[in-house]
Structure 1
Amino acid sequence: MPQACPCNPSIAYAACCQPLHEGRFAAASAEALMRSRYSAYVLGLRDYLLATWHPDTRPAALDLDDSPDLRWLGLDVKRHADAGDGSAVVEFVARYKVGSTPAVRLHEVSRFARVDGRWYYLDGEFPV
């Protein structure tokens, strides 16, 4: 049975985020990039995360929690709005759990920019 994609367990990873992670093609939309970045967090793909971060806001290094007790529980995309001018917003909720602690709900409104035909993550805000 094929490995399920972290961003959408009903789709095989090989048919969803893996081609983006391997650089076979660029994300077609800001939502596709956001989903592939979520999957990259789940899979610990630090280089992909940095490569898809806009150079103006990209950190010099990225520390990922590589605790064996960390489990990502799912992703829910709430909204995707492409402004048509090379910018887009994606609102999502991701859930994760570390060990036996209660699950954490990460709610973010992310901004994306399209540069030379490729989408990049700019930054995000955490709504109250």
Structure 2
Amino acid sequence: MNKKFIDIINYHIRRYPALEVQDIYKLLYQAANGPRHYINKEFDINEFYRQWNEAKLLVGQPPLEPISSDGKLVRANFAPLRDAGVHPDDVLNAAMLSVEAYIPRPSLLIQWWRDLGDLIRN
């Protein structure tokens, strides 16, 4: 696991003090698989719009957060994007284009999880 990715994990730990181990796993999963975890066969457009409309703004929450060390993947936080006037279809289109362009790397998830375990043990 490279230092930049460790910095991203540390950013999320600082940003979300209540972060739990499953949240770190989710971050690694998202970084390895891209937006396919969200835009998949079970994707429900109505659920997307419901989440967009009902998202609660957290104090200081940025519109986008890094989730990959190469800077190619970000997490889109709906509430600050919505409140900044971004149209939900623009976010959806960006996610769809990312699904088409991003090649999932599930083997990285396994490696990162092991690396993180080694880092914690040492």
For Structure 1 versus Structure 2, the TM-score category normalised by the shorter chain is under 0.3
Task: Flag the structure with more relative contact order, 1 or 2, with Cα contacts below 8 A and sequence separation at least 6.
Answer: 2
Point out the structure with the larger helix share. Answer: 2
TM-score for both structures, normalised by structure 1: 0.25
Point out the structure with the larger strand share. Answer: 1
TM-score for both structures, normalised by structure 2: 0.26
